[in-house]
Each structure stands twice: as C-alpha cells, then as structure tokens.
Amino acid sequence: TRNGNAVVEKDLLNHEDLAGDRGMIDDIFDETYREKEGPKPPLRYVWRNIILMSLLHLGALFALTLIPSAKIQTLAWAVLCFLVSALGITAGSHRLWSHRSYKATLPLRIFLTIANSMAFQNDIYEWVRDHRVHHKFSETDADPHNAMRGFFFSHIGWLLVRKHPDVIEKGQKLDLSDIKADKVVMFQRRYYKPSVVLLCFTLPAVVPWYFWDESIVISFFIPAILRYTLGLNATWLVNSAAHMFGNRPYDQNINPRENPLVSLGALGEGFHNYHHTFPYDYSTSEFGWRFNLTTAFIDLMCLLGLASDRKKVSKEVILARKMRTGDGSHKSG
Ligand code: ST9
Ligand code: ZN
Ligand code: ZN
C-alpha cells in the first residue's frame, strides 16, 4: 500500500542516492534559508551593461530587416550556429557542469566548451556558480534571477544591476570543487574574452563572407548578432516565462512551470517544474525526446561512447511525487 510517509521516504532516499552518485548536492533547494529582515538594498545600475544590451537588441532588430536579402546558406549557417551554441549551454554548462546529470569524455567536454564560448553567457565557472545558487535558493534574495522580482528582472534586468549581497554570500559557500578540478573549464575561464571574440562574433561572421561571398554586413548581423540575441532571449525565457506560465504537475508548492513553448526555443529546457523537482535528471523532463533536442544529443553522445552515466528518475518515483505534491494537471488531461 502507498501510504504518504513511505512515498516521502522513497522520494528522499532517491534524491540523496542520486545526489551522492553525482558527488554534489548544491543544486538542491535549501528550505532553511530566510531572507534578511528590513528594507532591500537599493538598485545599483550598471550603465555599461544597459548600453551594450540596448545596442545588441537594436542590432538584432536591424538584422531582422536584412533577412530577405540574405543567401539561404547564410540563414542555414545562422541556424547551425544557434544550435551549436545552445548545446554549449543546455548539454554543457547546464546539464553536465551545473547538475552533473551525466558524464562526458574529454573530447566532448572540449566540444561543449567551444560551443559554450560561442554562446557567450559568461564562462562555465560563473554560469555554474550562479545556476547552483539559483536552484538552492530559488525565488529568494540569494537567487541571482529571483522571479519574485518580476518578469523583467528575471529575464534581463538581473544582468543590468549589481547582485543582491545574499547571492554572493551564499554563492561563496557553494561546493565548486568539481568545477575547479575540470581543466577544460578552467582553461576557458582563463581565456574567456578572446574565446568569445573569436567564437561568438568572428567565426560566425567570417564563414559566410569567405565561403559563399555573403556581404560582410549580413554575415555579421545575422549569424553573429541576431543569432546571439535570440540565444540569450531563449535562455532568459526559462528564468522568466518558465517561472511564471504553465502547469505544475510535479510540485505545486514551487514557482517553476512546465512550458512547452519555452522548451521549443530552449532545446528542452522549458519543463521547469520537473527540472526544479528533479534537478539531477539528465533529460530535464519526464518525456525523453519530446521538444528536447538536448536529450537526443546526449543520447547520441552515449551511443558514440563520448558520454555515459545518465541519471534518470524512475517512473515510480515520478508518479509518487505527482500524487503527493503535483497540481493534478497530468491526471485531468
Ligand atoms: C547570460 C547568462 O545571459 C544567462 C544565464 C541564464 C541561466 C538560465 C538557467 C535556466 C536553465 C537552463 C536553460 C538553458 C537554456 C539554453 C537555451 C539556449 C537557446 N557566487 O558578477 P559580479 C562574487 S550572460 C559567489 O561582477 P556584480 C565573486 O567574487 C550574458 N560569488 O557581481 C565575483 O568575482 P569573480 C552576457 C559571486 O558586481 C564578484 O562577486 N554577460 C557570485 O554584482 C563580482 O561579481 C553579461 O551580460 C555568486 N553567484 O555585477 C555580463 N556572483 O567572478 C553580465 C558574484 O571574479 N554580468 N560573486 O569571482 C555582469 O556584468 C555582472 O555579473 C553584473 C553583476 C553587473 C550582472
Ligand atoms: Zn529555474
Ligand atoms: Zn538547472
């Protein structure tokens, strides 16, 4: 018989087993943390970021007007750059390095690091540090993109102001020894700026211009600027939209939601109620390849012998969790 307590115990046991298996638990929600009393610290704007992000988005709008004059190869190249850079985030800094949800061989880690610099979302070390505090202190002052502060803040606003002191205080206590021990990640951190200039902006622009005589303006604005801006916004939608709009079949007590539209743009990362409930699952979803190119990619890498040890939550544990804390949305339809 399934009595409430037995289910809780099984769920927790599974949690710890899988966490221990990964050698880390710092992406699991810490409910003991309390926000400090009293007024919040004032916003401190970072004008350099405000100006650069505005220019980037204006550049992306201009790039949209160039699409009708672009060669078909250039558009295909832009899509390829989008997919590769997105995998550097989803399969790389997210599922591999932040959550340790599978293991990757050296060649795959090198590929993911190159793809990650192409995505220019801060180096892997910084991304992982911010992402682990996001899970551990989700929707509090210690969450870098705290969705309680609204759509704009969790989408882009958090990159335009100084961090809340609790993000830094709590972040400094995280265990990042696994990341520091990864030579590929630390190499990227050391050469991050030149790697971004080369991989996010120069390479995407030079290829169409050199190989099929695309105009240099189109080569720069579509595969570099527009592709980069779309990648950023697809990622940010996970923090904003997927923390606000959608069902909560796994845990109705937390904010993150199941948002298939976000998953479509973010290569499988929009099943965010599932992901915050089971952060160690390599698929970030109950449903395998559905809207989830990243899972297909990781599976392919395993097939090729470049990855292994995929962590997956069992159907029984998922079902028990749905019954215990879900909003019932999966039962009714
Ligand atoms: C970008 C990142 O866009 C996007 C991440 C999104 C995450 C999404 C997650 C969702 C799930 C996955 C979905 C994937 C979907 C992919 C789909 C793809 C299509 N802990 O930062 P500073 C300390 S980046 C501990 O300057 P300020 C530390 O000592 C876009 N300590 O703080 C640090 O020094 P160091 C491009 C921390 O001054 C020092 O503080 N990049 C932590 O408050 C200073 O750090 C940009 O636009 C911590 N967590 O400034 C740049 N944090 O690092 C944006 C800090 O040397 N960033 N410390 O150890 C900045 O300019 C600044 O960070 C700031 C804050 C202005 C935002
Ligand atoms: Zn989240
Ligand atoms: Zn995560």
Question: In angstroms, what is the span from residue 15 Cα to ligand 1's centroid?
Answer: 28
Question: Where is pLDDT greater, at 65 or 20?
Answer: 65
Is residue 183 classed exposed, middle or buried when 0-12, 13-18 and 19+ CB atoms within 10 A define those classes? exposed
Question: In angstroms, what is the span from residue 63 Cα to ligand 1's centroid?
Answer: 27
How far is residue 158's CA from residue 144's CA, in Å, rounded to a whole number? 7
pLDDT confidence bin for 1, thresholds 50/70/90: very low
Dump pLDDT digits (tens) for 194-221.
999 999 999 999 999 999 999 999 999 9
Question: Where is pLDDT greater, at 332 or 116?
Answer: 116
Ligand number nearest CA of 90 is 1
For residues 71-94, average pLDDT: 98
pLDDT confidence bin for 22, thresholds 50/70/90: confident
Name the residue among 59, 57, 78 with its Cα closest to residue 219: 78
C-beta of residue 256 within 8 angstroms of C-beta of residue 243? yes
Beta strand ranges found along 86-244 (DSSP E): 103-104
Question: In angstroms, what is the span from residue 245 Cα to ligand 2's centroid?
Answer: 12
CB-ligand 1 contact for 266 (6 Å cutoff): yes
Ligand number nearest CA of 156 is 1
What is the percentage of the chain residues whose pLDDT exceeds 90?
Answer: 89
pLDDT at 17 > cutoff 90 = no
Ligand 1: nearest atom to the Cα of 133: 49
Ligand number nearest CA of 268 is 1
Residue nearest to atom 42 of ligand 1 (CA): 168
Question: In angstroms, what is the span from residue 78 Cα to ligand 1's centroid?
Answer: 26
Helix then strand count (H, E) for the chain reads: 18, 2
C-beta of residue 303 within 8 angstroms of C-beta of residue 52? no
pLDDT at 333 > cutoff 50 = no
For residues 150-162, average pLDDT: 98
Question: Where is pLDDT greater, at 99 or 5?
Answer: 99
pLDDT confidence bin for 116, thresholds 50/70/90: very high
CB-ligand 1 contact for 54 (6 Å cutoff): no
Q: Which two tokens stand for residue 248?
A: 């909560």
pLDDT at 21 > cutoff 90 = no
What is the percentage of the chain residues whose pLDDT exceeds 70?
Answer: 94
State CA 218 to chain mean position distance: 29
Q: Output phi, psi for 290, to 5 deg.
A: -65, 120
pLDDT confidence bin for 331, thresholds 50/70/90: low
CB-ligand 1 contact for 168 (6 Å cutoff): yes
Question: In angstroms, what is the span from residue 130 Cα to ligand 1's centroid?
Answer: 6
Q: What residues form DSSP beta bridges with 7?
A: none
pLDDT at 319 > cutoff 80 = yes
ipTM over 0.90: yes
Ligand 1: nearest atom to the Cα of 267: 17
What is the structure's pLDDT at 8?
Answer: 52
For residues 230-234, average pLDDT: 98
What is the structure's pLDDT at 13?
Answer: 55
**The dihedral of CA 162, 163, 169, 175: what is its sign?**
negative
Question: In angstroms, what is the span from residue 285 Cα to ligand 3's centroid?
Answer: 12
Question: In angstroms, what is the span from residue 241 Cα to ligand 3's centroid?
Answer: 15
pLDDT at 327 > cutoff 60 = yes
CB-ligand 1 contact for 231 (6 Å cutoff): yes
pLDDT at 4 > cutoff 50 = no
CB-ligand 1 contact for 270 (6 Å cutoff): no
pLDDT confidence bin for 330, thresholds 50/70/90: confident
Question: Where is pLDDT greater, at 67 or 21?
Answer: 67
What is the structure's pLDDT at 6?
Answer: 46
Dump pLDDT digits (tens) for 65-77.
999 999 999 999 9
Q: How far is CA 35 from CA 14, 139, 142, 167, 321, in A?
A: 29, 10, 8, 11, 28
Dump pLDDT digits (tens) for 94-104.
999 999 999 99
Ligand 1: nearest atom to the Cα of 89: 16
pLDDT at 86 > cutoff 60 = yes
Using alpha carbons only, how large is the chain's radius of gyration in Å? 20
